[in-house]
Amino acid sequence: MATRTITHYITPEDSPLGGTSLEIIATIGKDLSSKKIPISLTICYQKDKPEIDEQGKVISKTQSSTLQYYHYSIPNKLRNRKNNEFVIGIPLLDTNNDWVRDISRKLADATAKKYEVPCYVSWSTTKPSDVTSISMDQMFVLRNCINFINTLYN
């Protein structure tokens, strides 16, 4: 086993600014000093936290969600004056939803830049469309995801 997988829920109560509930499944290398093991983040947007009984068993049914976007970012090892990007990224599964593409790319780029490892971000939603999302929500998602990855590194 070279990796571990952690599931994490974020609820709007975590932030005074409010936001949307999220589920994050992160796979991260056990050897945190290795720069070759990628972090992979799978995010389910607007997912309700499942009810859990005293034995820790999940009562409510798993909500199905649709994969919308899959992005890969990698730190730029060949960085020079001409090619000045810190991170290079590519969509592996594209979407026509700009909001989803933007936030996933930002999250992948930020993670790749901060921890100097390749990063895969897959974004899924439980509801068909979320065009009503506002930019405040984007900050909430990004900050909470980065905070969560931070806890994995400490």
Partner 1 sequence: MSEYTASATFNNDQGSLSGLPLDITSIHFSNQILLQIRLNGEMDSTYEVTKRGLNALDQGISRPIAGFNSVPSEEQNDDDEFSYNADVVRDNLADFQVVTKLGDTTDHKMPVICTQMGELYQSVIIPMLRTSGKSNELTCDGSSLIITISSKIFRQPKGEDQDPDNELDFAKLVFVLKTIKEMYSI
Kindly state whether residue 37 participates in binding partner 1, applying the rule CB under 8 A. Answer: yes
Compute the residue count for the chain. 154
- What's the rounded Cα separation, in Å, for the pair 136 and 154? 27
Shortest distance in whole angstroms from residue 81 CB to partner 1? 27
What are the DSSP calls for 82-97, one per residue? SS--SEEEEEEE--S-
Nearer to partner 1, 17 or 32 (CB): 32
Shortest distance in whole angstroms from residue 97 CB to partner 1? 14
Q: Which of 11, 42, 33, 14 is nearest to 125 (CA)?
A: 42
Residue 137 structure tokens = 């929500």
Kindly state whether residue 97 participates in binding partner 1, applying the rule CB under 8 A. Answer: no
Q: Of 28-36, 78-86, 98-106, 140-148, which part binds partner 1 (CB under 8 A)? A: 28-36
Shortest distance in whole angstroms from residue 126 CB to partner 1? 9
Kindly state whether residue 88 participates in binding partner 1, applying the rule CB under 8 A. Answer: no
Kindly state whether residue 55 participates in binding partner 1, applying the rule CB under 8 A. Answer: no
Q: Which of 17, 59, 51 is nearest to 144 (CA)?
A: 17
